[in-house]
Structures are given as structure tokens and as C-alpha cells.
Structure 1
Amino acid sequence: MKCVLQASFKSKQTEIDRFIAQFEHSGVQFGKAARNTIKVFQIGEKEVNIKAFKVPNIFNQIAYKFLRKSKAQRSFEYANLLIDKGIGTPQPIAYYEDTTAFLFKRSFYVSEHINCELTYRTLTNDFDYPDYENILRAFTRFTYKLHENQIHFLDHSPGNTLIKKVHDDYQFYLVDLNRMRFETLDFNTRITNFSRLTIHKSMVEVMSDEYAKLINEDYEKVFRLMWNATETFQKQFYRKKRWKKRLKFWKY
């Protein structure tokens, strides 16, 4: 199995190797394992988060073996790039890849485990959360910082930003990093990047207001585009869901 480890964690490699080898039978599962499995392990006083990506289909096994970087490798490399740009993400530690001569099998991404008070998803479910609007506006400023640093986070969705309160401020950490582009974002792309975050118009109104101030643009223009992008994404999402049900009717 291939292993790429941060230099600062070389002394812990034996322990991390053991976690990977015993992954199925050890560690504490974190969240629901819908597609990929996340478990938390302990190294001294530090908690380590290991994400095991499921074995891809046969076509992707060939692609990941010969043509594309694995999700684990991309997560590791993107995390280092984010940190270099001053963007919050759990400290990347290592990635592992299990392959055969011709096929790619399983991969693992190892990072620091961060215990946070909430994710963005909390804001979509609890409108009475303390300091609600300030958190939402701070999140919008965080997204603006991503855009200014030429970071196009393609999975900018409710569960992929951890939020931690530090004194009177909030820190944000991106997770699920394997789908990301580093490119200049034009106006439309910036605003459309908010489309997967919420179905609630009131939240879009607050984010539009804050983002319009940051880019010195008309609020009505920003809101109209952001809300249209949100509605379009929702329609596409449910249309795709309906087609999935029809094509895989035996599962439902």
C-alpha cells in the first residue's frame, strides 16, 4: 500500500499504518457511512480523522490507477494548498492507496480531527441558533475569501464547512476536499457557488446582502442571481432524484 505522510508526522507512521490495517475493526465511527466511512483514532492527546473512500467501479479503478489522482491524494494536496492560502481546513496528515498491478482499490485520507460546535447545516435547521445572523454573515465573508484566493470549492454544501467559535469570532474549516478547482472566478461563478447551500430565501437574502457589500455590487442584482441559482440547483437535484428512482426502482 502506498503511503504519503507529512514530514511532521513521520514519527507516528507506525501507529497510523496500524490504524489503516485495522480500520474495519477499530476506531470510533464518525457520522453515517452513506458512501465513505469516517473513523476517529487517538494518537496521544491528538484525535486523528481517517476517511476511507469506497472502492470505485471498474472503470474508475482503471482511471484512478493510470489516469487520475485518487480522491485521497486530491484531498491531501488540496488541504496543503488551502493552508498555504490561509484557509481553514483540518491539518492534513497522510493519504494511503491500495492498488493491484492494473486496478485501483481503496484509498484513505488522514487528517486532524476538529471538534466544532456546528456546521453550516445547523444554520439551515435552527433559525434561533445564538448569534445566527452574525455567523451567516461571517460564513459569507469566508466564502468571499475563498473566491478572492481563486478557490472554487465545487462541494460548497451544508455539511462541508465546520464552524468553531473562538472568543467573539468564528473560524471556518472546509472538509470533503476532493472536488475543487484553483482558478479565477467571474461574477456569475462566484454567486452560483452559493447555490447548493440552502433552500431558504431568508438565508439567501442575508448572504446576498453581505456579499454585495464585499464586492461593491447592487444587492438586488446579487440576490436575484443567487436565488435563481438556488432554485435551478434544487430543480436539477430533484429531477435527478426522480430519474434515479425510475432507473433503480428495485431499491425503493
Structure 2
Amino acid sequence: MGITIVLADNSKLNKEKVLKSIDNFDHEGKLIGYGSRNKIKKITIDNAEYNIKSFKNPNVVNQIVYRFFRKSKAERSFLYAKRLLKMGVLTPTPVAFVEYKSIFTFGRSYYISEQLKYDFTIRKLIDEPKYEDYENILRQFTQFTYDLHEKGIHFLDHSPGNTLIKKTNSGYEFYLVDLNRMDFKTLNYQERLANFARLSPKDYMLDIISDEYAKLMNKPSDEVRERMYFYSQKFSSGFKKKEAFKKKYFFWRKKKR
């Protein structure tokens, strides 16, 4: 397969260093994220730290789709990161994306960004409801999400681990990650509230989030809370059904570690 390497304009790396890091991906670096589909490693290059996200080979249909009709997950991550930064939304600095393609099919791809030192994610608040400054963090996070919506950003993977949070002297900074599923459009009222569905099934979290969002939208707090509860429960129910189905019919699959 041929290889395509695209660098950001301000990248400190050249194509040779990027290619070397990809060639050594399986043998070097620290694994920081692993799923059934993708793998993320932290790798040091020239005394600087980078994250490399490896997207697995797509299925037969998507090998054709990504080759001819749709941008790859790696390219979308790269382009969306650049677009977010231009819109004033924080995300780890994009460095490059890499794709392996033949004449007719698409193979593996990689997205590289600068490593970001952060303090925690929203998952910390789910696991530790007595975490220091809990309510203030949630309210600032809700303001951050409202700003996304006002700017026409629909982050489809708005889930607990996909916003990195840094504590600052003046409050908190929020950085989006896992960017390949995103729409840029005007969101209607229901889409805005449904966008919180993946974040938490915890009522006490939704109570704070819905109260803050209602104030920002100048809507009745009871109405916003009820709708957020509905979308959260709908997502949780669908997720549980999906997991039960996979457990029943795909029990033979084992994740590689």
C-alpha cells in the first residue's frame, strides 16, 4: 500500500520522523488508550511528547468508502482539530495524519497530536461525587458545551472521557478529544439537550447541568431537566441492549491486549 502523510503548517516534525514513529508504533511508546477499534500511545520524539491514535483497518465496505467517498477518521480528526482551534475551541494541537491506501482500498490510518498535560476528565466527577469544587466544574463544563452549541458545533461523542480538563488560576479549561464524529450546523433545542445524553446517568449530575443550561437558554429548569433525563435514560437503555446483544451473539470475540 502507498502511504500519505499530511503535516500541520506549524508541525515541529517532518515526514521522515512521522513515518519512523508509525513504523515503530507497535514496539515503542506508552499505551494510554485501547479499545476494540482503536489504540492510542504516547510517544517521545526529539524530547517532545505526542499522542498517536491508530485506527484499525476498516471492514471491506469501508475500505472502499474511505478510499473514494469519505474522509478517513484520521483525516477528519486532523481537519476538525484545526477547525475547532480557529473557532476558539480548545483541543490538543494537531500535528499530522497518516493513511495507507492502495489503488482500490483503504487500510490503516493514524492521527498525531501534541501531548496535553491535563488534570482530569468528567469521568472523575462520575466516580467521585464529593470531588473538590464539583458543582462549579460541572457548571463551567455546561457553559463550555453551551458555547459549542452556540458556535454550531455538534460533538457526537460528547462522553465522559472525551473532554480533558485543566485547572487554571481563573477556573478551568476544556479540551475536546476523539474528534472524528462531529457536525457543524445550527442545533435545534432538542439536539442541544440530547447532546448531554452520553455524559452521565447520574441524576445529581444532570440536575446541576440542566439547571445551568436552562439559565443559559432562558428556559424553564423543570422542562430542561425532564428532557435531559429522558435522553439520558434513552441512551442508557439502548447501550445496555446493545451490550447484551453483543454478549449473547459475539461471546466468542476476545479483545486483544
TM-score when normalising by structure 1: 0.96
Structure-to-structure mapping, 1:1-252, within 5 angstroms: 1-9=3-11, 12-251=14-253
Q: CA deviation at 1:66?
A: 1.1
Q: CA deviation at 1:198?
A: 0.2
Provide the rounded CA distance (Å) in 2 between the counterparts of 1:135 and 1:32.
Answer: 27
Provide the rounded CA distance (Å) in 2 between the counterparts of 1:179 and 1:65.
Answer: 18
Q: CA deviation at 1:12?
A: 3.5
Aligned residues: percent identity?
A: 48
Q: Label 1:15 to 1:251 Cα distance change in 2 as closer, same or farther (>3 A).
A: closer
SS of residue matched to 2:123: helix
Structure 2 letter corresponding to 1:204: L
Contact 2:5 2:15 (8 Å CA) reproduced: no
Q: Which runs of 5+ in 2 are unaligned?
A: none
SS of residue matched to 1:157: coil
Q: CA deviation at 1:14?
A: 2.6
Q: Which moved more, 1:56-65 or 1:8-17?
A: 8-17
RMSD across aligned positions (CA): 1.4
Provide the rounded CA distance (Å) in 1 between the counterparts of 2:23 and 2:242.
Answer: 37
Q: By percentage of residues, which structure has more helix? A: 1
Provide the rounded CA distance (Å) in 2 between the counterparts of 1:39 and 1:116.
Answer: 16
SS of residue matched to 1:30: strand
SS of residue matched to 2:18: helix
Provide the rounded CA distance (Å) in 1 between the counterparts of 2:20 and 2:137.
Answer: 39
Q: CA deviation at 1:10?
A: 5.9
Provide the rounded CA distance (Å) in 2 between the counterparts of 1:12 and 1:156.
Answer: 32
TM-score when normalising by structure 2: 0.94
Provide the rounded CA distance (Å) in 1 between the counterparts of 2:12 and 2:34.
Answer: 30
